[in-house]
Amino acid sequence: MFDLPLAPRYVLPPAILIAFCTLLMLPPVQELLLFNRELIEQGELWRVWTSQYVHTNWMHWLLNVIGIGFIWVLHAEYRTPKTYAIHLLLLGLWTGIGIWLLCPDIRIYTGLSGLLHGVIVWGAIKDIKVGERTGILLFLGILGKLAWEQYAGPSAEVGALISSRVAIESHLIGAVGGMVLALPLLWQKK
């Protein structure tokens, strides 16, 4: 059996993220913050970043909450609350800018999953760096998932659940962001 990271410094950051994403489910707020390429082109630049924290529906929200919980169990002890916040902010911006620049076909976008892919990749690299044997398996698993998504395309079943096409591009962009964010780990001594 393993110990869950239940200290407040480990529980509060993901709890705050979940609460924040829950508040953003309010329809008027959601509509104001989602990635809408046309409105961004008209100057509503905040949508590039804020779209990472809103969801299409409650099932979409729930799937991402499960992802937050999974990451909390695996890697909560690697981040201080400040580092957690910085990672969320940077990966949200990275993913939004990546979608803006690299995915011109995406007109409307919402979701936390791209950012979460970055967070989990960073955690897998940290696992490897500290000698956690499962780190390489996690890293290879994420790479395999990303490769499969790029080959097979978005899941129609998940798309039906979230009432939107799964933006697999955001997963890849977020994962690359997690790798970039992990570069300083490579120079740290164990």
Read off the pTM.
0.94
- pLDDT value of position 23: 96
The Cα 42–Cα 48 span in angstroms is 12
Domain 8-187 has CATH 1.20.1540.10: yes
pLDDT in tens, 22-51: 999 998 899 999 999 999 999 999 999 999
Cα distances (angstroms) measured from residue 116 to each of 43, 73, 88, 155: 27, 14, 8, 18
Confidence of residue 2 (pLDDT cuts 50, 70, 90): low
Alpha-carbon distance of 142 to 163, in angstroms, equals: 24
Is the pLDDT at 186 greater than 90? The verdict is no
pLDDT tens for residues 120-176? 999 999 999 999 989 999 999 999 999 999 999 999 999 999 999 999 999 999 999
pLDDT at 27: 87
CA-wise closest residue to 78 among 154, 27, 129: 129
